[in-house]
Structure 1
Amino acid sequence: MIGGLQALLWLLLSAMNWSVESCALLAMALGAWLTGGLHLDGLMDTADGLAAGQERCLEAMDDSRVGASGVQALLLVLLLQAGALIRLGPWAPLALVMAAVIGRVAPLSAMARFPYLRQGGTAGFHRRHWHGAQEWVPSVALLLLLLIGAALMGGGLAPSVSLVLVVGLGAAWLIVGCLGRRLGGHTGDTYGACLVWGETVTLVGSALVFPAVLGAG
């Protein structure tokens, strides 16, 4: 839904002859507004925690203040996403939907593979109510719909979409694994960080594949 709303905003602004740069920034702003910046906050807290070292990691992540590492992580992600969306141009709406789906697969992987480190944490609700394999059904269904839609559109779109999905899902799996092994599990902050990096890798991957294979228009 969030990716679809971002894509719709892009299409509406494009119809009003807004520049690609403006479409990219406003689509990103809409995503941050719809989520309340929750996942970006998790990204920053996770970066600060990793920078603090193993012994103080969870303590630093719990600190409401943002450190230099958190600011740098946020800046890096925003620049990567903006650059990718500008490069994508007319393919950006499709990439936004794909990124939103893959980004939200990442926390599911974290919940399935690793323990939750903060038993009193608010994100513990998701882990306590984990229902196993059925949790994957909506995500798998959406990914299949994307592939079917791409195949119906023709023009070589399906192989490109498949490649980006494989890259995005693979990157999300690796990010979840790296953080989980580093910390011994996951928290709500790392769920958010995995989501954001899953989105970012998918957008960058789309920017590398779609214009090169399918053309700018």
Structure 2
Amino acid sequence: MMGRTTAMTAFLDALAFLTRLAPARPCSPAALTRCVPWFAPVGLMLGCLCTAAASCGLAFLGTLPAYAATQSCGLFVTALLWLALELWTTRGLHWDGLADLGDAVGAGGSRFWEILRDSRIGAFGALSLLVVFCGQWAALAWHLGALHRFELVLAPVWGRACAIWLAASTPARTPDSLGGLVQAGASPALAHLHGLAALLLAGLLCVRGLGFYQSFVLLIGQYTLTRTLSAAARRQGGLSGDFLGASIELGQLWFLLVTL
């Protein structure tokens, strides 16, 4: 009973930390570390919620007399609904990391951490947001048009698994930072479990009609993306929360694009 209660507490901590789907609650550093294994299940909840809302929106638009003539527009509207709901439920947490990292990497030089911590957004951060947002938006519209509900549900799961892989393979810059706390909870065993799940998912996608070549590219490309982000973090002295946020959105984009 105690183990079940502890697991439920860790799940609720992850849900409250990553989303608005649970009431705000104080989360100690130790609690944040313990809730890391629940990042992917939280992603599954997000995927189900966003996909259900987009599917309902698409069904409603299908009842309109003029929908047949504006079907493409309807797909982009419902894809935007999917993205907007994810943004609202996550409070834009990971997008903020993507923008900060885009500015810091784009500017380069010795001011990396100063720029990364600056709350203002620069040109490189804005462009990073624009490219990734538009990429996800277009891919989501395509998946909705092809009735790929399975891929839409699993995209947020894959994105949050990316944070586990990155944290497990990269030392943190400071142990008491967000990156350090997540890194402490992302054990090699947890990363290997997520890796095995990724292999099984790639096989299942093949059974569902995704080409073997696409599944191979999905896995190799994700490995390359994780290694690239890890190398960038190591060059700057270690992992931070912004690297993890960027990895979630970039990994989600990669999954959506390759499974088209």
Q: Name the TM-score, length of structure 2 as normaliser.
A: 0.68
Tell me what 1:132 maps to: 188
User: For the Cα contact (< 8 Å) 2:168–2:191, is it kept in 1?
Assistant: no
- When Rg is computed on C-alpha atoms for both structures, the one with the higher figure is 2
With over 3 angstroms needed to count, the CA separation of the structure-2 counterparts of 1:8 and 1:136, relative to structure 1, is farther
Matched, 1:46 2:101: yes
Residue 166 (1) aligns with residue 219 (2): yes
Unaligned runs of 5+ in 1: 208-217
Aligned match of 1:213: none
Q: Which residue of 1 aligns with 2:49?
A: 5
Over the aligned positions, Cα root-mean-square deviation in angstroms equals 2.6
SS of the aligned residue for 2:245 comes to helix
The match for 2:171 is: 115
User: What is the rounded CA distance, in whole Å, between the counterparts of 1:110 and 1:41 in structure 2?
Assistant: 18
For residues 100-150 of structure 1, the C-alpha deviation after alignment (integer angstroms, 9 at most, x for no partner) is 222122222221221111334233221233333135435644763574476
Aligned residue for 1:116, secondary structure, equals coil
CA distance in 2, matches of 1:172, 1:204: 14
Contact preservation (8 Å) 1:46, 1:193: yes
Alignment of 1:1-217 (within 5 A): 1=44, 2-17=46-61, 19-88=74-143, 89-137=145-193, 140-141=196-197, 144=200, 147-148=203-204, 151=207, 154=208, 156-157=209-210, 159=212, 162-163=215-216, 165-166=218-219, 169-207=222-260
Quickly say closer, same or farther: Cα 1:202–1:123, change in 2 above 3 A.
same
Task: Provide the secondary structure at the position in 1 that maps to 2:146.
Answer: helix
Change in 2 beyond 3 A, CA 1:163/1:96 = farther
| Alpha-carbon distance between aligned partners in 1 of 2:53 and 2:220, rounded to the nearest angstrom | 26
Equivalent residues of 2:165, 2:191 under 8 A apart: no
Q: Give the number of aligned pairs.
A: 204
Residues in 2 aligned to 1:92 and 1:171: alpha-carbon distance in whole angstroms: 25
SS of residue in 2 equivalent to 1:117: coil
Higher relative contact order (CA 8 A, sep 6+): 1
Report which stretch shifted further, 93-102 or 186-195.
93-102
Secondary structure of 1:66's counterpart equals coil
Q: Does the 8 Å contact 2:94/2:248 carry over to 1? A: yes
Counterpart residue identity of residue 79, structure 1: C
Alpha carbons of structure 1 residues 98 and 129: separation in structure 2 relative to 1, 3 Å: closer
Unaligned runs of 5+ in 2: 1-43, 63-73
Q: Return the letter of the residue paired with 1:14.
A: L
Measured in 2, the distance between the counterparts of 1:34 and 1:140 equals: 28
